[in-house]
């Protein structure tokens, strides 16, 4: 579904070149939920933007659904960290969710139904006429997720979507993502700085190094398909996997090989 | 309803007080150029006959409307283009700041050579002043559209047209409307200025002619009428503002 | 916010009222006992005599220290005199008739300038471009004619020229354009004809334009075009100063009549007219006295065209 081969990004700075991302190569199979973690500043967002076609790589390629990414790929949806600023305040919730659907050649009734369904899936049923700024932060992020879901993307890229949300809301939203993922079968690439979250959500966790960033480690999460905030997080297997990721990140911060 | 009545009372209160102050302060005036307000209001109905409304006031307002609309169309279109194209912005920015600093009355003789002396010239004078606040505010508004919103539009491949109509223009609209409000005030002034040169009719023209022929109470009545026109246009603009930016005003008021 | 707004409005109003009442000047005593006198003039050919008078010392000899202020037209000078900003002013006769008929208390104190009275050799005329189909005054019917001020001496006398030539002046579209802009507007074809005075007449001739009507000549024989005036108050309160001023002007007018080259030379000191144009332009006449009959004729012409709200009292206006 997503093939990243030797992708890298350099920036011109005073006195030379700063290599943010040196070379990353990995693949994400269709229907997988993969998390990407790494130390602060390791270029997680840069990587996501290159996969989303919002940033041109300096070298290497990303391929979505077999096609090279040289602009936002078809059938890809992105959920950003800044939920408040990604929704359009001049449109009500329903209109916000509906907007990306307008170029899909659907009838008005079909769009309306998709919007209603998406809002129901994120537990915001019936809120089409509410203004985005009348909602709490967590609810706004749900609207952004609903917007992505209604679009029925093949690939969903999420850039630290719950970083700015409180812990309890974050837990609910994590479960929402797993629920949507298992129901709709979307391929999800989930960027986060929260180690626990990456282990709880992902089937695989990709750990990045510090800049110039490369892939440090790839850890398979075999916690099974049914996960629960209480039971899963208190299982010994969870702690082991969590520790493994944590160790890799500490090593990455130290700059060890 | 109570708040509407209260708001109207407040809005009309100061003008009414000033009017009364003027009335009583000028009551016994023998000054030629500052006649009693009572004389001015007595002149009002006599001067501003239906023929004058048709021949002077209406053409002036029509030219103002034409000039303002043209300014808005050109200002917004060019502003969006310049705001969205970075190299164009850097190229044109110094030139725009230079051009907007030139007072339109200075340009009138030049405009007369290109545009003649008819309605076209007067409309051109109005545009030469009104276009700048709209253009420059549009550029600023477009450049300050939330980058995350632009990224969202790009990621969902909304396309240039839909991005422009659904994201860029609404995002820039608070700044654009600010520019339009400034332009309205400038437009009323230029409407009068444009009629001081080679005119044969118009509200500004009439006021100037009254002054030239020493019909001073009539001149003052014209000035009062001009002020009322300006106030009426401002009120109309507020209606427009509330309609276009109702989401913006509500958000500012209600934001969690 | 509202209180600030109210305060601001009150302050603005107060400032405006104060500024206008402060515009009351008046004479002050100059150095050495001479009277400091301010005169509002338009920097055109017509006022060359007063400049000559200063240069020749005619005013100083009568204990008058003149201060001349250049204004764009009668529209600025008449209010200036009425408000006391100027002691004397220079304005065309029709403007003065208008002011007087509207109740402004002003009087002519000395003659200013007159038409030469000779068609073909006057300092004002209606000009058309070289290729214009307009040949005579009657052809001006239904044309667009530029004048520097509407409902004033320009349009009333031009209409008379058209009438005398057998044309119908009611269809003429007079439009107000400042003299300096007229040559360009005439060339650009925005107006069919332009009534101008020197130096603009010579400027247009230099570009190939030609005269089709001599409206100053047609209006009345030896037409007094403009004069110096003051408020009735000044005439009553200081008749001595007014008389000295009038005498100095009369002496200046005589000097100008006798020394036309001096007139052309002094033009270079207060205008931007080039030496070539100064040498070529037609000078007006500078008679010592106002032609009362011509003033009455201008009043009649103005009344016929309906520019006066009340009929002017010519006797009250004249010295």
C185/B209 CB distance under 8 A: no
Contacts of A135 in chain B (CB under 8 A): 256
Statement: residue A117 has pLDDT above 70: yes
At C27, the pLDDT band (50, 70, 90 cuts) reads very low
> How large is the average pLDDT for residues B39-56?
88
**The domain boundary residue, chosen from C182, C203, C219:** C219
Give which of C81, C83, C184, C185 to mutate to test B binding, by max B Cβ within 10 Å.
Answer: C185
> B93-113, pLDDT tens digit by residue?
899 888 888 888 888 888 888
Find the mean pLDDT for residues A187-197.
93
* Gap between the Cα atoms of C198 and B51, Å rounded: 38
Mean pLDDT of C184-190: 90
Evaluate whether chains A and C are touching (3 or more beta carbon pairs less than 8 Å apart): no
Question: For A2-75+154-254, which CATH superfamily applies?
Answer: P-loop containing nucleotide triphosphate hydrolases (3.40.50.300)
Q: Is the peptide bond before A200 cis (omega within 30 degrees of 0)?
A: no
Number of domains chain B is built from: 1
Same domain, C61 and C131: no
Instruction: Assess contact for C50 and C39: CB atoms under 8 A.
Output: yes
Percent of chain C beyond pLDDT 70?
90
Among residues of chain A, what percentage have pLDDT more than 70?
99
Are C63 and C138 members of one domain?
A: no
Q: Is the peptide bond before A212 cis (omega within 30 degrees of 0)?
A: yes
Q: Which residues contact C168 (CB under 8 A, 6 or more apart)?
A: C141, C162
User: Hey, of A45, A54, A80, A90, which one would you mutate to test binding to chain B, going by the most B CBs within 10 A of its CB?
Assistant: A90
C4 is a domain residue: no
Q: Going by DSSP bridges, is the β-strand pair C193-197/C106-114 parallel, antiparallel, or unpaired? A: unpaired
| DSSP line for C179-224 | GGGHHHHHHHTSSSEEEEETTHHHHHHHTT-EEEE-HHHHHSTT-E
Q: Is residue C263 domain-resident? A: yes
Inform me whether the pLDDT recorded for C9 exceeds 60. Answer: no
Region B102-130 average pLDDT = 88
Q: For C183, name the nearest residue in chain B, comparing CA atoms only.
A: B113
List of chain B residues whose C-beta atoms are within 8 Å of the C-beta of residue A80: 148, 151-152
At C34-81, the pLDDT tens digits run 889 999 998 889 999 999 999 999 999 999 999 999 887 777 798 889
Q: What are A158's strand-pairing partners?
A: A79, A190
Q: What is the CATH number of the domain that holds B107?
A: 1.10.3720.10
Structural domain for B119, as ranges: 35-254
- Contact between C140 and C162 (Cβ < 8 Å): yes
Average pLDDT, stretch C196-208? 90
Number of domains in chain C: 2
For the stretch A69-104, pLDDT in tens is 989 999 999 999 888 889 999 999 999 999 999 999
Domain membership of residue C5 (yes or no) is no
Q: For residue C226, what are the CA distances in angstroms to B123, C114, C129, C151?
A: 36, 7, 27, 16
Same domain, C226 and C215: no
Mean per-residue pLDDT, A186-213: 92
Record: contact A53-B155, CB cut-off 8 A: yes
Is the pLDDT confidence value at A146 over 70? yes
Mean of all residue pLDDT scores within chain B: 90
pLDDT(C32) > 70: no
Burial (0-12, 13-18, 19+ Cβ within 10 Å), C261: exposed
Q: What is the pTM of this model?
A: 0.82
Same domain for C128 and C111, yes or no, is no
CB A21 within 8 A of CB A30: no
Residue among A23, A30, A33 nearest A61 (CA): A23
Q: Decide if B213 and C9 are in contact by the 8 Å CB cutoff.
A: no
Model confidence at C22: pLDDT above 50: no
Query: Which of A147-156, A215-224, B33-42, C214-223 is predicted with the least confidence, judged by mean pLDDT?
Result: B33-42
Same domain, C227 and C206: no
In this prediction, residues B232-248 reach a mean pLDDT of 94
pLDDT at A256: 61
* Helix, strand, coil % in chain A, rounded to nearest 5: 40, 25, 35
CA distance A223 to chain B (A): 32
Same-domain check for residues C73 and C189: no
Residues C177 and C238 reside in one and the same domain: no
Model confidence at C11, pLDDT cuts 50, 70, 90, reads low
Residues 6+ apart with CB under 8 A from A252: A38, A39, A42, A207, A208, A209, A210, A216
**ipTM of predicted complex:** 0.90
Residues C111 and C182 in one domain: no
Residue of B nearest to C184 (CA): B113
C154 and C201 both lie in a single domain? yes
Are C128 and C215 in a shared domain? yes
Q: How confident is the model at residue C24 (pLDDT cuts 50, 70, 90)?
A: very low
Residue C26 pLDDT greater than 60, yes or no: no
User: Cβ neighbours of residue A23 under 8 Å, at least 6 residues apart?
Assistant: A6, A7, A8, A59, A60, A214
**What's the rounded Cα separation, in Å, for the pair B243 and B236?**
11
More confident residue, B13 or C58: C58
pLDDT, tens digit, for every residue of B182-215? 999 999 999 999 998 888 889 999 998 888 888 8
Cβ neighbours of residue A257 under 8 Å, at least 6 residues apart? none
Q: Are C44 and C84 a contacting pair, CB within 8 Å?
A: no
Question: Which CATH number covers residue C197?
Answer: 3.40.190.10
Q: Both C141 and C211 in a single domain? A: yes
Nearest to C87 by CA among C224, C293, C248: C248
Q: Is B37 exposed, middle or buried (0-12, 13-18, 19+ CB in 10 A)?
A: buried
Question: What residue ranges in chain C does DSSP mark as E strands?
Answer: 28-29, 35-41, 64-70, 88-92, 106-114, 124-128, 144-147, 173-176, 193-197, 210-213, 224-231
Task: Quote the DSSP letter at residue C285.
Answer: B
Convert the pLDDT of each residue in C115-169 to its tens digit: 999 988 999 999 999 999 999 999 999 999 999 888 889 999 999 999 999 999 9
Q: Is residue B189 part of a domain?
A: yes
Q: Is the dihedral of CA C1, C7, C9, C15 positive or negative?
A: negative
Which pLDDT band holds residue A257 (cuts at 50, 70, 90)?
Answer: low
- Residues C138 and C209 occupy one common structural domain: yes
Domain containing C241: what range?
27-115+222-317
Provide CATH 3.40.50.300 ranges for chain A. 2-75+154-254
HEC string for C42-76: CCCHHHHHHHHHHHHCCCHHHCEEEEEEECCCHHH
């Amino acid at each position: 579904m997503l093939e990243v081969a030797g992708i890298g990004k350099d920036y011109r700075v005073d006195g030379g070149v700063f290599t943010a991302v040196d070379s990353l190569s990995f693949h994400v199979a269709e229907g997988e939920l993969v998390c990407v973690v790494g130390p602060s500043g390791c270029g997680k967002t840069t990587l996501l933007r290159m996969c989303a076609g919002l940033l041109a790589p300096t070298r290497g390629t990303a391929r979505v659904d077999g096609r090279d990414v040289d602009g936002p790929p078809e059938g890809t949806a992105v959920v950003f960290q800044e939920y408040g600023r990604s929704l359009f305040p001049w449109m009500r919730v329903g209109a916000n969710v509906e907007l990306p659907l307008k170029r899909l050649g659907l009838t008005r009734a079909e769009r309306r139904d998709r919007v209603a369904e998406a809002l129901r899936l994120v537990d915001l049923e019936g809120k089409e006429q509410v203004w985005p700024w009348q909602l709490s932060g967590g609810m706004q992020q749900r609207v952004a997720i609903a917007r992505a879901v209604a679009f029925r993307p093949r690939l969903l890229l999420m850039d630290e979507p719950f970083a700015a949300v409180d812990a309890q809301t974050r837990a609910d939203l994590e479960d929402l993502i797993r629920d949507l993922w298992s129901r709709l079968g979307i391929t999800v690439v989930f960027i986060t700085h929260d180690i626990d979250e990456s282990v709880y959500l992902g089937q695989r966790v990709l750990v990045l190094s510090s800049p110039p960033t490369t892939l440090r480690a790839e850890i398979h999460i075999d916690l099974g398909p049914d996960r629960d905030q209480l039971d899963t997080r208190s299982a010994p297997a969870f702690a082991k996997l969590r520790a493994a990721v944590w160790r890799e990140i500490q090593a990455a911060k130290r700059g060890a090989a | 309803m109570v708040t509407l009545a209260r708001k109207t009372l407040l809005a009309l209160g100061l003008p009414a007080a000033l009017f009364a102050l003027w009335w009583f302060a000028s009551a016994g005036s023998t000054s030629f150029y500052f006649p009693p307000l009572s004389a001015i209001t007595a002149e009002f109905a006599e001067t501003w006959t239906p023929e004058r409304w048709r021949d002077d006031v209406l053409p002036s307002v029509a030219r103002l409307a034409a000039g303002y609309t043209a300014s808005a169309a050109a200002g917004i279109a060019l502003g969006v283009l310049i705001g969205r194209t970075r190299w164009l912005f850097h190229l044109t920015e110094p030139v725009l700041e230079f051009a907007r600093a030139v007072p339109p009355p200075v340009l009138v003789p030049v405009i007369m050579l290109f545009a003649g002396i008819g309605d076209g010239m007067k409309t051109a004078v109005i545009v030469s002043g009104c276009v700048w606040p709209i253009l420059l505010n549009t550029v600023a508004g477009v450049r300050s559209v939330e980058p995350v919103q632009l990224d969202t539009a790009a990621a969902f491949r909304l396309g240039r047209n839909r991005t422009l109509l659904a994201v860029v223009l609404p995002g820039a609209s608070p700044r654009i409307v600010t520019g339009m409000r400034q332009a309205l005030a400038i437009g009323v002034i230029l409407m009068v200025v444009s009629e001081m040169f080679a005119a044969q009719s118009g509200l500004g023209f009439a006021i100037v002619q009254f002054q030239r022929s020493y019909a001073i109470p009539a001149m003052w009545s014209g000035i009062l009428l001009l002020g009322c026109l300006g106030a009426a246009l401002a009120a109309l603009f507020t209606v427009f503002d509330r309609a276009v930016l109702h989401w913006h005003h509500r958000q500012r008021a209600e934001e969690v | 916010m509202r209180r600030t707004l109210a305060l601001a409005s009150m302050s603005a109003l107060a400032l405006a009222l104060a500024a206008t009442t402060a515009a009351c000047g008046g004479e002050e005593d100059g150095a050495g006992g001479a009277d400091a006198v301010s005169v509002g003039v338009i920097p055109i050919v017509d006022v060359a005599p007063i400049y000559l008078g200063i240069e020749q010392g005619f005013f100083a000899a009568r204990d008058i220290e003149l201060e001349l202020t250049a204004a764009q037209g009668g529209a600025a000078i008449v209010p200036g005199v009425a408000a006391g900003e100027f002691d004397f002013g220079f304005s065309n006769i029709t403007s003065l008739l208008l002011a007087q008929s509207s109740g402004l208390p002003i009087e002519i104190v000395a003659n200013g300038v007159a038409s030469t009275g000779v068609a073909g050799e006057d300092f004002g005329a209606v000009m058309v471009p070289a290729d214009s189909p307009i040949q005579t005054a009657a052809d001006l019917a239904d044309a667009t004619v530029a004048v520097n001020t509407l409902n004033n001496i320009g349009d009333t006398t031009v209409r008379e020229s058209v009438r005398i030539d057998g044309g119908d002046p009611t269809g003429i579209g007079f439009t107000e354009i400042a003299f300096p802009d007229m040559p360009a507007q005439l060339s650009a074809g925005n107006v069919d004809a332009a009534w101008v005075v020197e130096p603009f007449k010579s400027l247009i001739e230099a570009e190939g334009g030609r005269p089709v009507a001599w409206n100053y000549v047609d209006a009345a024989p030896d037409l007094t075009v403009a004069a110096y005036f003051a408020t009735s108050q000044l005439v009553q309160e200081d008749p001595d100063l007014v008389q000295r001023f009038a005498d100095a002007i009369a002496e200046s007018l005589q000097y100008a009549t006798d020394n036309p080259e001096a007139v052309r030379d002094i033009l270079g000191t207060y205008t931007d007219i080039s030496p070539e144009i100064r040498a070529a332009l037609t000078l007006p006449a500078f008679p010592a006295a106002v032609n009362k009959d011509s003033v009455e004729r201008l009043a009649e012409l103005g009344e016929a065209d309906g520019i006066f709200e009340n009929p002017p009292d010519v006797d009250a206006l004249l010295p």
